[in-house]
Homo-oligomer: A and B are copies of this chain.
Amino acid sequence: MLSKKQISWINALKVKKYRKKQQAFIVEGEKNVAELLQSHFNIIAIYALESWTIKNKKICNLHQQTLHIISPKELKRISNLHTPNEVVAIVKLPTNDDTQKQISQALQQPLQHHVLALDDIRDPGNLGTIIRIADWFGINTLICSPTCVDAYSPKVVQATMGSIFHIQLIYNDLEQLFESNAKIPVYAALLQGKNIFDTDFSKKGIILMGNESQGINEKYFKYMSKAITIPRKGKAESLNVAVATSIICAIACK
């Protein structure tokens, strides 16, 4: 049985301010929760229908302390989905305290994999899709500018389809990132640049993608090693940023 207080505590986590305050975020749906359970993330609570607990007996034994069985009606009151799934988990937000340590570890040279840096991605669906793409192509580190949408919003988490639990995600000032890692090449996606099919991506580096409508902020141009572009054959004026990221990652990581 969920108390009113619990329900409002959970629902508050839909708002970034309260996620920060309570240092927690919501994970919803079977696929996302399954990936969560296999990750190193700290689970604060699991709210599940009985149907889910029957299918996940082992997990329920392991998480007895945090598991709460709820009714479909209660689930509806805490869910973010039009058609609520069977399970909602509340998870501890990863701390950003040791960001610099994380970044220097992730950028230890020579890089084993490309790293993705995002400048000011605003749309939750785009960020979620990009996280899923990074995960598909084995890009383990994603560095977001502080103006990017919060990756722990329910919409982003949902769109990652569990991939948010596979990759390392860091919010950090990008200028500072480039300044401190001057030797790492920066491949910056622009509407005009070198054809990605003629670009040598063999030296692993940072792939930089820009905002949905403005592209990459000009202040980062001086850090670019290569401006790269997806050749256009038809008439469309632009590609969606998640689509462009997927094409560039496919070529760069092939």
What is the interface of chain A, defined by CB distance below 8 A to chain B?
Answer: 31, 129, 132-140, 161-163, 166-167, 197, 230-240, 242-243, 246-247, 250-251, 253-254
On whether the beta carbons of B231 and A254 are closer than 8 Å, the reply is yes
Q: Is the CB–CB distance between A235 and B135 below 8 Å?
A: yes
Q: Please tell me if the beta carbons of A254 and B163 are within 8 angstroms of each other in the complex.
A: no
Shortest distance in angstroms between A234's beta carbon and chain B's nearest beta carbon?
4
Inter-subunit contact A233/B197 (CB<8 Å): no
Task: Give bound CA distance, A162 to B239, whole Å.
Answer: 12
Question: Can you give 26 contacting A-B residue pairs, CB < 8 Å?
Answer: A129-B243, A132-B236, A132-B240, A133-B236, A133-B239, A133-B243, A135-B236, A136-B234, A136-B239, A137-B233, A140-B234, A161-B236, A161-B237, A162-B236, A163-B235, A166-B235, A166-B236, A167-B234, A197-B254, A231-B254, A239-B246, A243-B246, A246-B247, A247-B247, A247-B250, A250-B251
- Chain B residues lying within 8 Å of A247, measured Cβ to Cβ, are 246-247, 250
Residues of chain B within 8 A (CB-CB) of A233 are 136-138, 253
Copies in the complex: 2
Chain B residues near A137 (CB-CB < 8 A):
232-234
Chain B residues contacting A238 (CB-CB under 8 Å) are 161
Closest chain B residue to A253, Cβ basis: B233
Give Cα distance in the complex from A23 to B161, angstroms: 39
Residues of B within 8 A of A235 (CB): 135, 163, 166
Residues of chain B within 8 A of A240, CB atoms compared: 129, 132
Q: Which residues of B contact A234 (CB under 8 A)?
A: 134-140, 166-167
When chains A and B are docked, how far (Å) is the Cα of A242 from the Cα of B244?
Answer: 11
Please name all residues of chain B whose beta carbon is closer than 8 Å to the beta carbon of A161 when the two chains form the complex.
236-238
Besides the known contacts A134-B234, A136-B234, A163-B235, 9 further A-B residue pairs in the complex with CB atoms under 8 A apart: A129-B243, A137-B232, A138-B234, A161-B236, A161-B238, A166-B234, A243-B246, A246-B247, A250-B250
Q: Which residues of B contact A166 (CB under 8 A)?
A: 234-236
Contacts of A129 in B (CB 8 A): 240, 243
**Which residue of chain B has the shortest Cβ distance to A134 in the bound complex?**
B234
Cα A240 to Cα B250 with chains together (Å): 14
**Minimal beta-carbon separation of A142 from chain B (angstroms):** 12
Asked whether A232 and B136 contact (CB < 8 A) given A243-B246, A246-B243, the answer is yes
CA distance A248 to B160 in the complex (A): 21
Q: Which residues of B contact A139 (CB under 8 A)?
A: 234
